[in-house]
Amino acid sequence: MMMRVLFLCTGNSCRSQMAEGLLRWLGGSVVEVVSAGTDPRPVHPDAVRAMREIGLDISRQKSKSAEPFFAQRFDYVITLCDAARESCPVFPGAAKTAHWSLPDPAAAIGSEEQRLQVFRSVRDQLAARIDDLLAEMMEGFLGKWSEMADPSQVEAPSKDSI
């Protein structure tokens, strides 16, 4: 059973792209992850840089509009900015929704190093939240497996079948 997750942000250029890359890497074959934006912009080069620092390459990821995903089913839809939450308060195909209000690293000011530090901080906050999300998903998987393995739910073989 594969879980489907959609990360939603306004521009789909920083936070949601980093979240997609992190969950794809950490979730492995258990999670199918996509990201989208309400007003998509190209992937920010500093998001690519911040992820490359931890060994993840998101340079081939593309910004996508949220619209094609509205008709799809997802186990989780997670908004990463207040603007996306306000413009998509109800996502029809979501089993569960969550809102992680994170600062927009693209709006960071200061030197190149100071701006990159904001991207790193958001990346690290995303990694911590994704770790919690995966723990929640695993509890759900384990619960389903234990229900399936519950001996009281299994019919005992008859003498004739032995």
Choice among 36, 81, 106, 133 that is catalytic: 81
Instruction: Classify burial at 21, counting beta carbons within 10 Å of its beta carbon; exposed 0-12, middle 13-18, buried 19 or more.
Output: buried
- Residues 3, 5, 6, 9: which is the catalytic one? 9
Q: Find the catalytic residue in 43, 88, 126, 133.
A: 88
Q: Is the dihedral of CA 68, 122, 56, 44 positive or negative?
A: positive
Which residue is associated with the tokens 């019919």? 155
CA torsion sign, 10 to 66 to 127 to 100? positive
Known catalytic residue: 14? no
Active site residues: 9, 81, 88
